[in-house]
Structure 1
């Protein structure tokens, strides 16, 4: 088991969540959906695990997002959602079809932004403490794209970030040959500063946009382990007292950011629209 490493940085990165009061009118939920190619190849995880029970799943069946589980966060956020991101999040950029969730990033002018995308959360609807989480998804591609499947502590609204803790199940940054690499990271607060510990894994061939991969964590009271296609590539020991954030409940956030401090901005090589396609999310807990 790896020891955790502290990194103290003065700026906010992907973990900051801003609430926007600016919203847009309800959309049809089918942005360019007829043009979306859904791969038929890739890894599929088991539907069950010995000694564990499936406590929640979303297979994204039907033709609209299940609003009993998910909420749209819209707008541009504070300081580009804490990361100088360029997109305006809209509900219209989320669709559900053919058994998949599709989040679409588009180059279009809207409310002062040159890009739009979507961000959905399960806050106050579905939150979990420990278990195995599997998310089967295909990533977008292109310079400046920043898709993420992640979690924030359910006490975020009262203690703020990073004190609530953040678990990044999957992040990818597009362009410059970076689309073959998955990043798994945690953020927390230590002595009043943000600390983080992350790992990564790169495919030997192809990119994360070519076909489906399953991004997973195994999370308990002592550690978090990150896996891609059931292969572990990263682990953190969460037993130190200062990592108590990770012994509490968390909710999901799925989004595709455009631009920002980490990936940089889109350029002439970036094509739009781009799509993150999610087949399912499943949460298993020990019996």
Structure 2
């Protein structure tokens, strides 16, 4: 997630905060046969053939713990966020064929800390990790001041050093006071505070991201990353660096996916009297493809 003053929460930070964090695990959920599906994505991807290698359609009765871990912490994401992340069904659940991440103004206490807001954050680390490919997430986003939904990726192994030397890929971030705009960003360069970021915003021609579902995608290849909305290319990046390795580092290693709904923080600021709670981020599916040989 975008960060203007402090490093975001990433794998090495959580290892140092084990007393304040825990992860929820469970029995494997439903299995999906992935290897048989080959699809041709829209013409904006040059009619490349892609093979579905990982997916969650959220058709079960609960989150599939063979694919996702739920993070529980009150760390604040390194961005002065205001929520506590929990594994309660009030905050993370599967309902009516969709993942629901719900932020609530309920004064919840957990991991020895009380926060005014509770919410959810899940990740595929050690369950789904990829080097290159296409990721599609069909989601409907909450809006309002202080609301901060994100779909993003972190390196599984900090090969090139701590954040942001080993990189971060932000597929989608929305700050709720700009309900018609989302951001696609790369973080890289040196260790914080010598990190860099480059990216662009995408603005809808009408309506907001709370009105309907959209498909947020990236196509990630060696030396290039492209952002798509509903199958249409809108941003490409090919220039980055890492103090820990040569180009195309750091975006040449395994990354995993995160989906979360933060409240407050340095970028969106706190909620105001007009912000509506509970606020829900709905995800219809997550699909990961790799190029078919």
Q: TM-score, normalised by structure 1?
A: 0.83
| Counterpart among 267, 274, 277 of residue 272 in structure 1 | 277
Distance 1:47 1:202 in 2: 32
Cα distance in 1 between the residues matched to 2:191 and 2:164? 11
Structure 1 residues 210 and 95, CA, compared in 2 at 3 Å: closer, same or farther? same
1:48 aligns with 39
RMSD: 2.4
Are the counterparts in 1 of residues 10 and 154 from structure 2 also a CA contact under 8 Å?
no
User: What is the alpha-carbon distance in structure 2 between the residues aligned to residue 245 and residue 63 of structure 1?
Assistant: 38
Q: Does 1:222 align with 2:223?
A: yes
Larger displacement relative to structure 2 (126-135 or 49-58): 49-58
Is 1:263 aligned to residue 265 of structure 2?
Answer: no
Question: Greater relative contact order: 1 or 2 (C-alpha under 8 angstroms, separation 6 or more)?
Answer: 1
Post-superposition offset of 1:11:
2.5
CA 1:96–1:206 in structure 2 vs 1: closer, same or farther (change >3 Å)?
A: same
Q: Is the 8 A contact 1:224 1:238 kept in 2?
A: no
Q: Output the CA distance in 1 between the equivalents of 2:140 and 2:61.
A: 19
**Paired residue for 1:84, among 62, 80, 86?**
80
1:64 corresponds to:
62
Alignment of 1:61-210 (within 5 A): 61-77=59-75, 80-92=76-88, 93-111=91-109, 112-156=114-158, 159-175=161-177, 178-190=178-190, 193-210=194-211
Structure 2 match to 1:3: none
**TM-score, normalised with respect to structure 2:** 0.81
Whole-angstrom distance in 2 between the partners of 1:223 and 1:89 = 33
Distance 1:278 1:136 in 2: 6
CA shift in 2, pair 1:228/1:25, >3 Å: closer
Gaps (5+ residues) in structure 2?
Answer: 25-36, 41-47
Q: Deviations over 1:102-156 (max 9, x none)?
A: 0000001122210000000111111001011110000011110000000001114
Q: Secondary structure of 1:247's partner?
A: coil
Q: Give, in whole Å, the separation in 2 of the partners of 1:188 and 1:114.
A: 33
Which structure 1 residue ranges, 4+ long, deviate > 6 Å from structure 2? none
Instruction: Specify the SS of the correspondent of 1:261.
Output: coil
**Are the equivalent residues in 2 in contact too, given 1:200–1:234 (CA < 8 A)?**
no
Distance 1:24 1:105 in 2: 19
**Superimposed CA distance per residue, residues 151-178 of structure 1 (whole angstroms, 9 cap, x where no aligned partner):** 0011149932112210000000002xx0
Distance in 2 between the 1:83 and 1:96 partners?
28
1:130/1:141 CA distance change after superposition, 3 Å: same
